[in-house]
Amino acid sequence: MVADALAQAVRQQLGLGRLLPLGTEHDGAWVTEHAATAVLRAAAAELPEVRVTALHIDLLAPDQAAEPTVPAPPTALRPGPLRVAGEFLAAAEQPLPTSAERLRATLYAVATDRLGLVVGAVDLQVTGLLDEARAAHATQPPGGAGPAGEAPGGAGPAGAEGRLGPRAGRAPSAARPVSDATVEGRVAGAVAAVPGVARLAPALGGLTRPVRIEGPRAATEAETPTATVPAPARHAQVQVAVAAGHRAVEVARAVRERARAALLAEAPGTVTVAVLVTAVDAADTATRERPEDGRGPQNPEATESAGSATSAERTADRA
């Protein structure tokens, strides 16, 4: 428990947020809260009548969450319906319920269709008017605090990190090339070729290890299974960034299958794979030139619209 609490604290400091279940308990996939909220904020930024100031995603009913069919990353949430909670500013010319419903529908659609999250509720709170916030911000000196406790530059409520979701920041960079002389390197090469994988992007458990394998790694390390000696069990954790235009959960499923096949080619036995999506690229990121190793752009940045703070709660129907 102490180790889990420490890992969770470190993860929050790194800006990853929670590790959210991607799909169902059978998919063996997770996505960082930072990556998920960046996609939702970018979609919300297309709505001119609102400005999202905080987003947070958590399990809707933790006691009803299922056990995943593969070992999960440390402190990852168990699969189950999620609750998206947000705060936003709304334009005065639009009825508040209309603006809230439009935003709710956008967040729900993007979370389910673009990412593959199982969303059970979207709760929104309007905390102010957009025009008033802009006017108040215009009177602030350069670098000063924004309206209503907003961080400098209109980046949202100060100190909201952890309470209402991670802030925007630099997305995980592409991993350094892994030698094909190792099992991890060969699995990484197989995964990098999966359609929809922008790059190998480790953010958890070491920034230079996009593939981590527990158990015998190569055929020379594994005993040949016999009637009395069971085949060795192995588990791999793979971290990737998803390219623009691809559904995150479907890419994660394909990565699992490719990684599993690569490990079975190394040695027979029981193989499980967990996939962690650490970034989901925006359309402009996908157009950047890929490096010569074909494993995606180096140093992309997450796109996330910022805002200030907002009242009226809405709950979405179950997916």
Per-residue confidence (pLDDT) for residue 304, from 0 to 100: 34
pLDDT for the residue numbered 222: 44
pLDDT score, position 274? 97
Question: Does the domain spanning 183-286 belong to CATH 3.30.70?
Answer: yes
Joined tokens for residue 116 = 């593959």
Q: Are 96 and 317 in contact (CB under 8 A)?
A: no
pLDDT at res. 313 = 36
Give the strand order in the sheet containing 50-59. Answer: 50-59, 82-90, 119-129
Q: Model confidence over 304-317: pLDDT tens digits?
A: 333 333 333 333 33
Residues in the chain predicted with pLDDT less than 70, given as ranges, are 1-14, 132-180, 205-208, 216-231, 284-319
pLDDT at 215: 80
Beta bridge pairs of residue 19: 32
At residue 186, the pLDDT reads 94
Residue (of 154, 52, 150, 148) closest to 100 by Cα position: 52
pTM above 0.75, yes or no: no
CATH number of 15-149: 3.30.70.1350
3-state secondary structure 108-175: HHHHHHHHCCCEEEEEEEEEEEHHHHHHHHHCCCCCCCCHHHECCCCCCECCCCCCCCCCCCCCCCCC
C-alpha to C-alpha distance for 240 and 280, rounded to whole angstroms: 9
CATH 3.30.70.1350 domain residues, the chain = 15-149
Which residues are bridge partners to 20 per DSSP?
Answer: 31
